[in-house]
Every structure is written in structure tokens, then in C-alpha cells.
Amino acid sequence: MRAGHGFIRKIKGLPGVIRAAWPWVFIETLGTNFAVLPDMSTPLSSPANSGLVSSVDAAAAVSASSGPALRHGRFEDAQALFTGSLFVSITMMLFAQAGLLTGSTAGIAFLLHYVTGLPFGATFFVINIPFYWFAWKRMGAEFTIKTFVSVAMLALMADVGPRFIHIDYLNPLYAAVAGGLLMGSGCLFLARHHSSLGGATIVSLYLQDRYGIRAGKVQMMIDCTVVLLALAVVPLERVAYSVLAAVIMSMFLWISHRPGRYQGN
């Protein structure tokens, strides 16, 4: 088995429609090798749930007899990496329009962009280069290659995107909430297909895989630290909105990105 596959088994989640309690619902085609187990306050042995027990038993039997979870195909990986990178690139455009920033290497790239005027996408790509060695050593070749492709797509989309979309007015609160959810959704797409956007995301996923520390907790600490360091460059109000966006994204991942849920590889 390839190195790093243990990582993806520990960041499993609901197949199909993913936790529709949040207003960011998106659908991912994953295949059918799964069993949905209920979390109910009433006993499963009650008459109301007798049919459910039979369904769960049947689903569990099918899952047990069918062997390991099916791997994602190349097309499934490609659409997930593209969509995840697109979601995050839209977030970067929203943040740039509203004068916000984010954490991790993207936050550093934003700071350099605001101070020097360098293109965000190119700066973000270059900053992530040192992290690929760590990813190759700790997470495996497949994860590293997919991460490199995702970072490259995000860098290109973030720099080219403004040629295709322009927003005349954007409230920073809206940018923080929508951007936080879009970024969380994009990162979740990438993580469930054994990829990331480099930087602190690589470190947080490694710590979750190795020590069981939830990626959302680590990401929240790192992101908030980077955003707070931006006080020397960005106005306090915009920093506050940026912290809100980081908290929303990290809470989103904390709730949705749990070990033992997702069956695809």
C-alpha cells in the first residue's frame, strides 16, 4: 500500500451530500461502498426503528463483504482538485476586494502583496515550495503531487480570476462569512482526495494523521496567529474580519473533517 494512505482513512466523512446543516452544500460523487449509521436518541430496538435496524444490518453486511473502500478514480480526483482550488481562489478574490487576508502561507502571500504589490498567486506558489519536501517525506508522493497541482491551480486562478469577475461593492462581513465557508469547503474537497493547499495545511493534516489532533484546531491556531501579525500592515477592523473568516473556516473543518467518517480513498 502506498505511503500516506493511512492519512486519508483517518479523515473520513459523510459520502454524497456533506452535512447540509451549513449553507455551503455541495455534492461529490463518491461511489456506493458505504453504510449510513444512525445517531438517534430513541433506542434502535423500538418499533419505530425496527425497519431501520434491518437496513443498517444489511448495509453493514454489504460493507463488510465488499472489502476495502473503493478508490477515487482519476476523473474524480481531477474534478475535486479543480473545484476545491476554484472555491479557494474565489475566496482569495473576495478577500483582496475587501482588504482582508487569511492565515498560513496564503496570509504571508497576502501581506507581501499588500506591502510590495507583488502578484498574490505567484507569491503564494513560491512560498509553498519548501513545504513540498516535508510533504514528500511525511505524507507520501501521491499527496505531495496532488498538493503541488492544487497550489499551482490556485495560484493561476487567483491571478487570472479578476479578469473574469469584478465586484463593485463588497461588505467585509459578507466577504468574511462567505469566504470562510468557501475556503473550508474547498479545503475539505482537497483533503478528501488526498491533497491540500500546502503550508500549514500540510502540517495540520500530518498532526491529525500522526497524533489524532484535529486539523481544524491546528489550523485555527496557526491562521489566527498569522492574521494577528498583520496588525502592522492591515487596519484593525479588517484584521478583525479576517480573524472571523479564519474562525469560521476552522470551525467548519473542525466539525466536518473527522476521522472515521469517509470511505473513499
- Residue 38, pLDDT > 80, answer no
pLDDT tens for 197-213 read 888 777 877 888 888 88
Let me know if residue 248 belongs to a domain: yes
- Our count of domains for the chain comes to 1
Mean pLDDT value of segment 230-245: 88
pTM, entire model: 0.65
Let me know if residue 6 belongs to a domain: no
For residue 139, what are the contacts with CB-CB under 8 A and spacing of at least 6? 3, 4, 7, 202, 205, 206, 209
Let me know if residue 110 belongs to a domain: yes
Q: Which amino acid is at 188?
A: L
Let me know if residue 4 belongs to a domain: no
50 band by pLDDT with thresholds 50, 70 and 90: very low
Let me know if residue 265 belongs to a domain: no
pLDDT tens for 116-126 read 888 999 999 99
Q: What is the pLDDT of residue 95?
A: 92
pLDDT tens for 94-104 read 998 998 988 78
Mean pLDDT value of segment 132-159: 89
- CA atoms 74, 77, 80, 81: torsion sign: negative
Q: Which three cell numbers stand for residue 264?
A: 473513499
Give the residue numbers spanning the domain of 187. Answer: 74-256
Let me know if residue 264 belongs to a domain: no
Report residue 87 CA to chain centroid gap: 10
Of 119, 236, 227, nearest in space to 183 by CA = 227
Of 65, 22, 8, 4, nearest in space to 255 by CA = 22
Q: What is the pLDDT of residue 15?
A: 38
Q: Which three cell numbers stand for residue 164?
A: 473574469
CB 31 within 8 A of CB 75: no
CB 13 within 8 A of CB 188: yes
Q: Which three cell numbers stand for residue 174?
A: 459578507
Let me know if residue 67 belongs to a domain: no
Most confident of the following: 149-153, 211-215, 238-242? 149-153
Which residue do the cell numbers 469517509 mark?
Answer: 262
Let me know if residue 195 belongs to a domain: yes
CB 263 within 8 A of CB 33: yes
Distance between CA 136 and CA 142 in Å, rounded? 8
